[in-house]
């Protein structure tokens, strides 16, 4: 589904990604862990097409297409979704209008007819239950005045509504208490299927107790320095990020 | 410069949807302005002597008056002798809609204003003004059942001279400003409505203004009187063909609300704004004012201003009655080289009067958008309050947003509050929407609609969605 080959990127003059290689197949959940400043969120932003980052080398194929050639909205319509670390507030635009607009853009791209209001509401209610999203939040402006946990849940609601092929969760667990974490992870688990894939970016092992990955990658200094099964996350948690420096120097 | 800045920078000149012209035989007065022009118009309309005298008096004011100098733009040179002051479709409008020239019906159909009552938006009565004259007023009989008078100004002068004489010029006197004086001298038609005591007008009243003829100005007058305890919601819409030369539109609107009456007046202004280089477009110099004459009266102005090359208007409320309420809700969107200098005046005279001003300016391209507002609480106006919120949104970095509040409080028991913000559309907001499959143009439209929603929600429902569409269309080409 996703093949990243020697991806390099910078912001302004600072090189951040220094040659990332990664392959994700349908049905897989990959986790990316790493210390602050290792490039985790940059990788998420670059894949989504954030204009603040410049790709300086490498290639990314998404379903066989050159992802880096596509505009951000085209990537989204092709089925790439980013759950933001810091979801943005859009005053005066109701969450419902926003969801309907996004969904219809993606459906139109896939040659599907627009939903009737009734069909849309049915789908929305279904997905709201899935992520235990409070109905009153749907009628409010996008993320405006939402608590940190509500914003993250709203990201998962959008994920559920838009049903992408590949979902990137950028530190979705940050700022969540344990109940909210359980709800968010529960939502993601219900959305997992053999046709979609997840790239879970996190600083802590805790989230991976709930969303169990197939592969764990450790990102440090803009490169993936180690990949392994889910136990790698536990090992990292136990030994701390200092251990990585040893790994880096020995490899 | 980041990629998004580039997107916001690149301005395209998108089509103005209503820029077509109607080919119809017109009765046009020769260009020029003097007492004979005034007499000509008055004679065309078979007006009584008192009205001709009133016009001539106004014309003498006009001759003595000077152009205002305080506005935040350079006043264009007006050659008042180079304009024709009267243009009317030749076929006379007759008693029923069946007799309206099909060409005209077609024109209004194209504008989305079907004049056929069967096809009309239910619950909206329309007075359609084409250049200088009203061509049709719908639902008159139905309104008459409740005693509501809704007709063209010309008919009102003939059929209800006492009402017209009693109120004409009482809110906006002919000497108020040069454009008001000009209008009083040469106004050709407009709408008149009277809502009798205790009647809640059963449908929205609306006037649709269309400038068609070349080298003409449009000078219409609207007079709305809501008697004790009555209620009326009124809407006006405006469009004009695309023409290279500027066209002057100098209208006057007067509202009178008696004890406990309420008038809600909404405007969706979409005059031709000129092209991307600022060529052509309508000069919209309009004086709108209402008076809460009685106790507990309420007047509410809502305006969505997207058109005109220059907009100069300050719909105001004189709060004379005790406990009366004045409101002003405005969205003004400017792009390319458009100029808007708009706002309101709230004049608090009565006790315990309240006013509320919500102004949302949106500037794109090379446009200049100014809010100018006066809140004046007089010495006897105790226990009064004003709240003003004035927000500006900038799209790109070549446009300007300006705020000129004039606040005057002469009563220590009264309170005035003013809040102002200026913001830019955040790139993060656009990227967030992009990431959900929404392109930048739609994203900006969505953000702007959200920004203006507090005002748009005040519009009658049938028109709120129109206005949302209009905002999106007007922004089309401003980005991406």
Instruction: Give A71's contacts in chain B (Cβ within 8 Å).
Output: 434, 439
Instruction: Indicate yes or no: CB of B449 within 8 angstroms of CB of A92.
Output: yes
d(CA B119, CA B111): 14
- Among residues B329, B210, B327, the alpha carbon closest in space to that of B272 is found at B210
> A114-123, A162-171, B62-71, B124-133: which range is least confident on average?
B124-133
Helix axes A117-130, A95-109, angle to 10 degrees: 110
pLDDT at B4: 38
Measured CA to CA, the distance from residue A156 to residue A150 in angstroms comes to 10
**CA neighbours closer than 13 Å in the CB half-sphere of residue B287:** 20
Q: Reply yes or no on whether the pLDDT at A245 is more than 90.
A: no
Q: How far is A95 from chain B (nearest CA, A)?
A: 11
Find which of B435, B447, B450, B455 to mutate to test the A interface (most A CBs within 10 Å of its CB): B435
Classify residue A104: in a domain, yes or no: no
In which band, very low, low, confident or very high, does the pLDDT at B88 lie, cut at 50, 70 and 90? confident
How big is chain B by its Cα radius of gyration, in Å?
22
pLDDT greater than 50 at residue B408: yes
For every residue of B381-430, DSSP letters joined together read -TT-EEEEEEEEEE-SSS-EEEEEEEEEE--TT-EEEEEEEEEE--HHHH
pLDDT bracket for residue B57 (50, 70, 90): very high
Distance separating alpha carbons of residues A201 and A188, to the nearest angstrom: 13
Is B435–A141 a contact, with Cβ atoms under 8 angstroms apart? no
Task: Sort out which chain B residues have CB atoms less than 8 A from A46's CB and list them.
Answer: none
> Band of the pLDDT at B14, cuts 50, 70, 90?
very low
Which of A51, A101, A141 lies closest to B438 in CB terms?
A101
Q: Please report residues of B whose CB lies closer than 8 A to that of A161.
A: none
Measured from the Cβ of residue A79, the count of other Cβ atoms closer than 10 Å reads: 20
Do the chains contact at B429 and A90, CB–CB below 8 Å? Answer: yes
The residue range of the domain holding A233 is: 2-88+164-250
Give the pLDDT score at B2: 39
Contact A2, A61 (CB under 8 A): yes
* Whether residue B105 has pLDDT greater than 70: no
Rounded-to-integer distance, Cα B260 and Cα B292, Å: 9
CA distance A40 to A54: 15
- Which of B253, B259, B256, B251 is closest to B220 using CA atoms? B251
Contact in structure between B264 and B296 (CB atoms under 8 Å) = no
Mean pLDDT for all residues in chain A: 90
> Helix or strand or coil: residue A105?
helix
Whose structure tokens read 């955040």? B426
Of the candidates B69, B67, B84, the residue with the CA atom closest to the CA atom of residue B180: B67
State how far residue B315 is from chain A, nearest Cα, in angstroms.
25
Residues B338 and B366 sit within 8 Å (Cβ to Cβ): no
User: Is B442 in contact with A101 (Cβ distance < 8 A)?
Assistant: yes
Please give the residue of chain B at the shortest CA–CA distance from A48.
B435
| C-alpha A92 chain-centroid distance | 26
Compute CA distances B84 → A21, A128, B37, whole Å: 74, 62, 9
In which element (H, E) is residue A75 found? helix A72-78
How far off is chain B from A153, nearest CA to CA, in Å?
16
Task: Find the chain A residues whose C-beta atoms sit closer than 8 A to any C-beta of B.
Answer: 48-52, 71-73, 75-77, 81-82, 84, 87-88, 90-93, 97-98, 101-102, 105-106, 109, 141-142, 158, 162
Alpha-carbon distance B468 to B234, whole Å?
A: 19
* Torsion sign across C-alpha atoms B434, B437, B439, B442: negative
Q: Is residue A207 part of a domain?
A: yes
CA atoms of B277 and B371, how far apart (whole Å): 23
Q: What is the pLDDT of residues B122-150, one digit of tens each?
A: 456 667 766 656 666 677 778 888 999 99
In the predicted structure, residue B422 carries a pLDDT above the cut 80 = yes
**Separation of alpha carbons A251 and A245, rounded Å:** 10
Chain A contacts of B451, Cβ < 8 Å? 91-92
Min distance B429 CA to chain A CA atoms (Å): 6
CA of A146, closest CA in chain B: separation in Å?
A: 16
- From the list B369, B381, B193, B211, the residue with the least C-alpha distance to B290 is B193
The per-residue pLDDT for range A105-158, each reduced to its tens digit, is 999 999 999 999 899 999 999 999 888 877 778 889 999 999 888 899 899 999
Cross-chain CB nearest to A162 (options B436, B440, B442): B436
Q: Which residues of B touch A92 (CB under 8 A)?
A: 449-454
Tell me the pLDDT tens digit for each residue of B229-270: 999 998 887 666 666 677 888 999 999 999 999 999 998 888
Residue B446 with chain A: CB contacts under 8 Å? 90, 93, 97-98, 101
B295-333 as b/e: b if 16+ CB within 10 A: bbbbbbbbbbbbbbbbbbbbbbbbbbbbbbbbbbbbbbb
CA distance B453 to B446: 10
Q: Are A98 and B439 within 8 A, CB to CB?
A: no
Confidence label for B162 from pLDDT (cuts 50, 70 and 90): very high
8 Å CB contact between B45 and B165: no
Best CA proximity match to B160, nearest among B126, B206, B209, B194: B194
Distance CA B1, CA A194 (A): 42
CB contact under 8 A, B447 and A72: no
Report yes or no on A227 lying in a domain.
yes
Say yes or no for a CB contact (<8 Å) between A109 and B437: yes
Spatial CB neighbours of B99, under 8 Å, sequence gap ≥ 6: B93
Q: Are B404 and B72 in contact (CB under 8 A)?
A: yes
Q: Give the separation between CA A45 and CA B343, rounded to whole angstroms.
A: 42
- Residue-wise over A142-174: b if at least 16 C-beta within 10 A, else e? bbbebeebbbbbbbbbbbbbbbbbbbbbbbbbe
User: With 0-12 CB in 10 A as exposed, 13-18 as middle and 19+ as buried, what is A16?
Assistant: buried
Q: Which of B284, B59, B343 is nearest to B183 (CA)?
A: B59
Does A76 contact B446 at a Cβ distance shorter than 8 Å?
A: no
| C-alpha separations of A236 from A58, A171, A176, A221, A242 in Å | 28, 17, 21, 16, 9
CB-closest option in B426, B431, B450 to A72: B431
Total beta-carbon pairs less than 8 A apart between chain A and chain B: 82
With H, G, I as helix, E, B as strand and everything else as coil, classify residue B264.
strand
Instruction: Identify the CATH number of the domain in which residue A221 sits.
Output: 3.40.50.300
pLDDT recorded at residue A250:
53
Share of chain A above pLDDT 90, in %: 68
What confidence category does residue B152 fall into, taking pLDDT thresholds of 50, 70 and 90?
A: confident
Closest Cα in chain B to A158? B436
Average pLDDT, chain B: 84
Max CA distance (Å), chain A: 60
Higher pLDDT, A184 or B438: B438
Output A251 or B388, whichever has higher pLDDT. B388
Q: Is B411 exposed, middle or buried (0-12, 13-18, 19+ CB in 10 A)?
A: middle
The reported pLDDT for the residue numbered B100 is 60
State which residue of chain A sits closest to B439, comparing Cα positions.
A73
- Enter the DSSP assignment of B294: S
Backbone Cα Rg of chain A? 18
Q: In terms of C-beta distances under 8 Å and separation of at least 24 residues, what long-range contacts does A235-242 make, across chains too?
A: A236/A33, A236/A205, A237/A204, A237/A205, A241/A34, A241/A35
Compute the distance between CA of residue A162 and CA of residue A150 in angstroms, rounded to an integer: 18
**In this complex, which of B2, B428, B449 lies closest to A93 when CB atoms are compared?**
B449
Q: How many CA atoms lie within 13 A of A214 on its CB side?
A: 13
Q: Report the alpha-carbon distance of residue B436 to residue A88 in Å, rounded.
A: 12
Q: How far apart are the C-alpha atoms of A229 and A120, rounded to whole Å?
A: 39
Q: Provide the pLDDT for residue B409.
A: 95
In a domain, A56, yes or no: yes
Partner-chain contact B452 A52, CB within 8 Å: no
* A112 CB-near residues (< 8 Å, 6+ apart): none
Number of domains in chain A: 1
- pLDDT tens figures, B182-217: 999 999 888 899 999 999 988 888 887 776 666 667
**pLDDT reported for residue B11:** 31
CB contact under 8 A, A49 and B434: yes
Do B446 and A93 make contact, defined as CB atoms within 8 angstroms?
Answer: yes
Which of A234-243, B174-183, B311-320 is predicted with the least confidence, judged by mean pLDDT? A234-243
Res B1 pLDDT > 50? no
Residue in A71, A102, A109 nearest the CB of B436: A102
Percent of chain A scoring above 70 in pLDDT: 97
Is the residue at A121 inside a domain? Answer: no
Contact A73 B440 (CB under 8 A): yes
> Taking CB atoms and an 8 Å limit, are A71 and B434 in contact across chains?
yes
The pLDDT value given to residue B113: 60
Q: Would you put residue A54 in left (φ > 0), alpha (ψ -120 to 50) or beta? A: beta
**Nearest chain A Cα distance for residue B411, angstroms:** 36
pLDDT at A25: 96
**Taking CB atoms and an 8 Å cutoff, what residues of chain B touch A109?**
437
Chain B residues near any Cβ of chain A (below 8 Å): 2-4, 426-429, 431-440, 442, 446-447, 449-454
Per-residue confidence band for B425, with pLDDT thresholds at 50, 70 and 90:
confident
The C-alpha of B234 sits at a distance from chain A's nearest C-alpha, in angstroms, of 25
Q: Provide the pairing of β-strand A215-220 with A223-228.
A: antiparallel
Nearest to B200 by CA among B235, B230, B228: B230
Single out the residue of B316, B390, B378, B328 nearest to residue B353, CA to CA: B378
Gap from A224 CA to chain B (nearest CA, Å): 25
């Amino acid at each position: 589904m996703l093949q990243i080959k020697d991806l390099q990127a910078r912001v302004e003059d600072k090189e951040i990604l220094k040659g990332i290689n990664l392959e994700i197949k349908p049905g897989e959940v990959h986790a990316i862990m790493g210390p602050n400043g290792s490039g985790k969120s940059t990788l998420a932003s670059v894949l989504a097409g954030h204009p603040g980052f410049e790709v300086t080398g490498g290639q990314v194929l998404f379903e066989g297409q050159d992802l880096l050639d596509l505009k951000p909205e085209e990537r989204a319509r092709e089925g790439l979704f980013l759950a933001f670390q810091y979801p943005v507030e859009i005053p005066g635009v109701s969450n419902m209008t926003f969801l309907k607009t996004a969904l219809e853009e993606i459906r139109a791209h896939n040659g599907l007819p627009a939903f009737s209001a009734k069909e849309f509401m049915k789908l929305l209610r279904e997905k709201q239950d899935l992520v235990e999203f409070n109905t009153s939040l749907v009628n409010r402006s996008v993320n405006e005045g939402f608590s940190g946990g509500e914003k993250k849940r709203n990201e998962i609601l959008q994920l559920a509504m838009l049903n992408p092929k590949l979902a990137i969760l950028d530190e979705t667990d940050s700022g969540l208490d344990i109940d909210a974490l359980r709800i968010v992870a529960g939502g993601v688990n219900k959305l997992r299927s053999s046709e979609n894939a997840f790239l879970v970016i996190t600083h802590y092992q805790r989230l991976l107790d709930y969303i169990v990955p197939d592969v764990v990658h450790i990102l440090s200094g803009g490169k993936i320095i180690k990949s392994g099964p889910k136990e790698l996350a536990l090992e990292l948690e136990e030994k701390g990020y200092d251990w990585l420096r040893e790994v880096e120097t020995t490899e | 410069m980041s990629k998004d800045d580039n997107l916001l920078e690149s301005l395209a000149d998108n089509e103005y949807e209503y820029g077509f012209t109607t080919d119809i035989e017109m009765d046009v007065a020769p260009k020029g302005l003097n007492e004979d022009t005034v007499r000509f118009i008055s004679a065309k309309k078979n007006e009584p002597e008192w009205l001709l005298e009133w016009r001539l008096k106004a014309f003498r004011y006009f001759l003595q008056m000077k152009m205002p100098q305080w506005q935040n733009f350079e006043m264009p040179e007006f050659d008042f002798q180079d304009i024709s002051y009267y243009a009317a479709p030749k076929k006379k409008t007759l008693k029923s809609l069946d007799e309206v020239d099909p060409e005209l019906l077609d024109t209004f159909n194209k504008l989305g204003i079907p004049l056929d009552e069967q096809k009309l938006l239910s619950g909206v009565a329309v007075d359609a003004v084409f250049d200088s004259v009203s061509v049709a007023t719908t639902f008159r009989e139905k309104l008459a059942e409740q005693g509501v008078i809704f007709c063209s100004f010309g008919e009102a002068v003939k059929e209800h001279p006492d009402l017209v004489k009693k109120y004409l010029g009482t809110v906006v006197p002919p000497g108020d400003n040069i454009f008001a004086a000009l209008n009083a001298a040469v106004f050709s038609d407009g709408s008149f409505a009277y809502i009798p005591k205790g009647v809640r007008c059963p449908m929205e009243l609306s006037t649709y203004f269309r400038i068609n003829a070349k080298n003409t100005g449009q000078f219409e007058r609207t007079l709305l009187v809501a008697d004790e305890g009555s209620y009326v919601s009124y809407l006006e819409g405006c469009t004009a063909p695309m023409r290279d030369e500027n066209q002057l539109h100098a209208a006057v609107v007067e509202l009178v609300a008696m004890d406990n009456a309420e008038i809600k007046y909404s405007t969706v202004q979409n005059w031709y704004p000129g092209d991307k280089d600022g060529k052509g477009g309508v000069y919209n110099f309009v004086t709108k004012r209402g008076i809460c004459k009685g106790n507990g009266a309420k007047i509410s102005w809502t305006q969505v201003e997207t058109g005109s090359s220059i907009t100069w208007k300050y719909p105001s409320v004189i709060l004379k009655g005790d406990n009366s309420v004045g409101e002003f809700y405005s969205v003004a969107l400017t792009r390319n080289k458009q100029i808007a200098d708009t706002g309101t005046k709230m004049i608090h005279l009565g006790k315990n009067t309240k006013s509320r001003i919500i102004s949302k300016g949106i500037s794109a391209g090379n446009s200049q958008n100014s809010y100018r507002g006066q809140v004046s609480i007089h010495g006897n106006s105790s226990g009064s309050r004003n709240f003003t919120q004035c927000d500006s949104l900038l799209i790109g970095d070549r446009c300007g947003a300006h705020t000129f509040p004039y606040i005057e409080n002469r009563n220590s028991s009264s309170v005035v509050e003013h809040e102002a913000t200026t913001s830019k559309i955040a790139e993060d907001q656009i990227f967030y929407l992009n990431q959900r499959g929404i392109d930048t143009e739609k994203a900006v439209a969505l953000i702007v609609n959200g920004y203006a929603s507090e005002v748009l929600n005040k519009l009658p429902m049938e028109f709120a969605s129109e206005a949302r569409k209009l905002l999106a269309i007007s922004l089309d080409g401003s980005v991406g």
